[in-house]
């Protein structure tokens, strides 16, 4: 990476009209350059396409019939051009310096395969009661959690570690990360808070809190941790 490498920012969306523009704006406002922003629409039936179109050539829009989040990201990976790739959900936000700091980290240490950052949850105003209720909860205020929306990696890592498992609905991200970790990926978590995760009433992940699949992921995590010791 002699010159500044292109970063592809993949924003996956399904009926995300409410917050999509904020997510796109945060990607377009990065202090790092060059960045290509791709909105990958998983069959939305709301105004997602219109909102993406309002950005003109600054945003590339890709549409597919509804197939789920893993298939959406995989389709994006087949069409992006960046040497580096980062992901953002359509309801979350990046700090303007996110890519600057992460690209600097992976250029300084080329051995890094997966670069995460710290992040912070924030609640929409109408859910301030829930924010008070869960303020400081260690399971919801992770420091440096492995999150797809803080990840920066090389596109080639999806060749090395494989694509997202399209059979999984909801845990495809953490499963991919664990597979990469088991395969020996070098993982770095930057201490800076560079992503803001919006908690609202329709987070898809709410419905799976503490379900069987979550425990299965935990089991895989613990097995991974045992393998490290």
Partner 1 sequence: MDPDTRFQPTEGRTAARVIDGEAILIDLVDGNYYSIADVGSIIWQMIEARWTLGDIGLAVSERFGVGQDRVDADIKVFVDALLDEQLIEISRETSARADSPLDGGSNPPYAKPEFTAYRDIAKLLALDPPTPGGAQEFLWRDPDGNDTNGSTP
Residue closer to partner 1, measured from CB, 100 or 121: 121
The two beta strands, 187-199 and 114-123, are parallel
Q: Which residue from 125, 210, 227, 228 is in contact with partner 1, where contact means CB under 8 A?
A: 210
Q: Which two tokens stand for residue 41?
A: 């629409």
Query: Taking CB under 8 A as the rule, does residue 146 contact partner 1?
Result: yes
* SS3 of 173-189: HHHHHHHHHHCCCCEEE
Q: Where does residue 39 rank: exposed (0-12), middle (13-18), buried (19+ CB within 10 A)?
A: buried
Contact 107, 1 (CB under 8 A): yes
Residue closer to partner 1, measured from CB, 125 or 138: 138
- Options 2-10, 62-70, 71-79, 131-139: segment touching partner 1 (CB under 8 A): 131-139
Q: Give residues with Cβ within 8 angstroms of 79, minimum separation 6.
A: 38, 62
Q: Which two tokens stand for residue 206?
A: 């709410």
Q: Which residue from 56, 125, 138, 227 is in contact with partner 1, where contact means CB under 8 A?
A: 138
Residue closer to partner 1, measured from CB, 53 or 140: 140
Query: Taking CB under 8 A as the rule, does residue 169 contact partner 1?
Result: no
Q: Which residue from 65, 111, 126, 207 is in contact with partner 1, where contact means CB under 8 A?
A: 207
From its phi and psi, is residue 64 left (phi > 0), alpha (psi between -120 and 50) or beta?
Answer: beta
Q: Which residue from 6, 105, 145, 168 is in contact with partner 1, where contact means CB under 8 A?
A: 145
Q: Which two tokens stand for residue 226?
A: 């045992």
Q: Which residue from 120, 160, 169, 219 is in contact with partner 1, where contact means CB under 8 A?
A: 219
Query: Taking CB under 8 A as the rule, does residue 174 contact partner 1?
Result: yes
Q: Which residue from 135, 156, 160, 184 is in contact with partner 1, where contact means CB under 8 A?
A: 135
Tell me which residues touch partner 1 (CB under 8 A): 130, 132-140, 142-147, 174, 199, 203, 205-212, 214-219, 221-222, 225-226
């Amino acid at each position: 990476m002699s010159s500044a490498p292109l970063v592809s920012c993949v924003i996956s969306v399904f009926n995300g009209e409410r917050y999509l523009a904020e997510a796109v704006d945060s990607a377009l406002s990065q202090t790092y350059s060059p960045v290509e922003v791709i909105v990958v629409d998983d069959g939305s039936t709301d105004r997602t396409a219109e909102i993406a179109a309002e950005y003109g050539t600054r945003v590339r829009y890709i549409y597919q019939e509804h197939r789920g989040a893993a298939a959406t990201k995989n389709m994006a990976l087949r069409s992006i051009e960046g040497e580096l790739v980062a992901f953002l959900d359509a309801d979350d936000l990046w700090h303007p310096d996110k890519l600057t700091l992460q690209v600097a980290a992976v250029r300084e240490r080329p051995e890094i395969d997966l670069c995460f950052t710290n992040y912070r949850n924030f609640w929409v105003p109408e859910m301030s009661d829930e924010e008070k209720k869960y303020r400081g909860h260690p399971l919801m205020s992770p420091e440096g959690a492995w999150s797809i929306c803080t990840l920066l990696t090389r596109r080639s890592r999806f060749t090395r570690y494989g694509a997202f498992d399209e059979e999984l609905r909801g845990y495809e991200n953490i499963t991919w990360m664990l597979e990469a970790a088991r395969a020996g990926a070098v993982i770095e978590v930057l201490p800076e808070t560079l992503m803001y995760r919006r908690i609202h009433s329709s987070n898809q992940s709410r419905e799976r809190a503490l379900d069987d699949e979550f425990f299965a992921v935990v089991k895989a995590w613990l097995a991974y941790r045992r393998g490290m010791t």
